[in-house]
Structure 1
Amino acid sequence: MALLAFFAVTSFALGVGIGLSLIVAIGAQNAFVLRQGIARRHVGLVVAICALSDAVLITAGVAGVGAVVERVPAVVTVVTVAGAVFLLAYGALAFRRALRPSALVLGEDRAAVSARTVALTALALTWLNPHVYLDTMVFLGSVANRETGSGRWLFAGGAVLASLVWFTALGVGARFLSPIFARPGAWRVLDAAVGAVMVAIAAVLIAGL
């Protein structure tokens, strides 16, 4: 019984560790969650969308969908192209905010206040990112399926928990940076950085086709 408990804890901890190692890396999702957290706009909604999306993808990967996706490269190609186009567009908007903050303050505030706009952006940054599929469905799914018995679902549970904890910490913790971003110049730097991240990721996606 003690041995079973040990393996259960090990599988769960492995899921948490590997899940965090994949999700903590700077990416489109994290940049968006960080920006919304600093602005304190619909943070709970963004965190819920990102964490639930990861949970669905990780579960699908453990259930074997990742192996199917891996065998159909056309699916990954389509998502890659769509994701690259979206990231380039989002990056262009970020650069526009950095270069012309006064021109975008009113329009951006009206759009950003809309929960629908924020939700659609979060969904696009998640589901149009092929790296999300490769990390969650393919990689985590393949690692999980090396576990025996219920170990693979304990591993999946650990990875899902890691995603939830990370996005919550990032979204909620970002508000502590609000005093720094009380200055317009800080927002310009952040938006320039977000734009650079989005364009860099899009370039990597296109280069990998």
Structure 2
Amino acid sequence: MTLSFPTFSAGMLLSMSLIMAIGPQNAHVLRMGLQRQHLWLTVAVCAVADIALISLGVLGLAQLGGLSDKLLGALVGAGVLFLGVYGWQAFQRFLKPQTPAASADDGATQPCAPAPATPRQAVLSALAFSVLNPHAWLDTAVLIGSASLAYGQGSTTFGLGAAAGSVVWFVVLGAAAFWLGRRLNSLRIWRLLDGAVALMMWGTAAWLLTSLF
């Protein structure tokens, strides 16, 4: 396989342009970064899940003509349920705001800090936001997979570029969230964040529901 830089760059640019919107997956990475809980584990899981979906699209779904209506409907239904539950949890945090525990540098702990997530919970949450997210399937497996067909023999190179774009995006997003997490630790900011997340999750779920009819 001969790597073509223009083809690789095209895949990377398409991947980053699709993933940059602040959707459920990105919002989850931001929250884990602001809470400083298993951020890089979350970034790694999200990136690996994206690479798997991109590979599935480039090597498989694009050749088959995309997802079947039944499979797409099942994914949308699971995504709506997941987003509805997560939006409700964010809304509960909005009603009763909590700040994460202060960092070790401060030598103090917030009395209302929520219980930290375990590594297993962090992995499962990141997988849920990656796999139970119809947008992720449409953007990676379907759109990127279909676009790769235009490059013929270079479709694998296009897919590698798309995978690289996903990794770059999540690393940059994780670094930004980590940097902000050292500076944002007020109840007001966390309440605003949780309120925005709840509205976004419910709005996305409602939009997905309309796509079924």
What is the TM-score of this pair, normalised by structure 2?
0.88
CA distance in structure 2 between the aligned counterparts of 1:127 and 1:95, rounded to whole angstroms: 23
Distance 1:72 1:101, change over 3 A: same
AA partner of residue 200 (structure 1)? G
Q: CA–CA distance in 2 between the matches of 1:52 and 1:139?
A: 18
C-alpha separation between the residues in 2 aligned to 1:71 and 1:80? 12
- SS of the residue 1:41 aligns to: coil
Match of 1:50 in 2: 46
Distance in structure 2 (CA, Å) of the matches to 1:107 and 1:185:
14
Are the aligned partners of 1:69 and 1:76 in contact in 2 as well (CA < 8 Å)? no
The 8 Å contact of residues 8 and 161 in structure 2, kept in 1 or not, is answered as yes
Matching of residues 34-113 of structure 1 within 5 Å: 34-68=30-64, 70=66, 72-101=68-97, 109-110=114-115, 112-113=116-117
> C-alpha offsets along residues 144-186 of structure 1, whole Å, 9 cap, x if unaligned?
121032x111111111111111111111211221254221111
Identity of aligned residues (%): 38
Aligned residues: 202
Which of 132, 136, 139 aligns to 1:135? It is 139
Indicate the structure with greater helix content. 1
What amino acid sits opposite 1:115 in the alignment? P
CA distance in 1, matches of 2:143, 2:98: 43
Instruction: Write the distance in 2 (CA, Å) between the matches of 1:155 and 1:107.
Output: 48
Residue deviations 1:112-165 (CA, integer Å, cap 9, x gap)? 42111121111111111111111111110011121032x111111111111111
C-alpha separation in 2, matches of 1:65 and 1:126? 17
1:32 to 2, 24, 28: 28
Unpaired runs of at least 5, structure 2: 101-109
**Could you list the per-position Cα deviations for residues 72-130 of structure 1 after superposition, in whole angstroms to 9, with x for gaps in the alignment?**
110010110111011010001001001112599989732x4211112111111111111
Alpha-carbon separation, structure 2, partners of 1:123 and 1:101: 26
Q: What is the rounded CA distance, in whole Å, between the counterparts of 1:107 and 1:121 in structure 2?
A: 22
- Equivalent residues of 2:99, 2:113 under 8 A apart: no
Change (3 A) 1:103 1:12: closer
Residues 58 and 160, structure 1, Cα contact 8 Å, conserved in 2: yes
Query: What secondary structure sits across from 2:86 in the alignment?
Result: helix
When normalised by structure 1's length, the TM-score is 0.89
| Distance in 1 (alpha carbons) for counterparts of 2:78 and 2:91 | 20
The answer to whether the 8 Å contact 1:67/1:138 transfers is: no
Equivalent residue letter for 1:125 = F
Q: Give structure 1 stretches of 5+ with no counterpart.
A: none
- The residue identity in structure 2 corresponding to 1:117 is Q
Greater shift, 198-207 or 114-123, is seen at 114-123
Root mean square deviation of aligned Cα: 2.2
State how far apart, in whole Å, the 2-side matches of 1:53 and 1:157 are: 14
Matched, 1:13 2:16: no
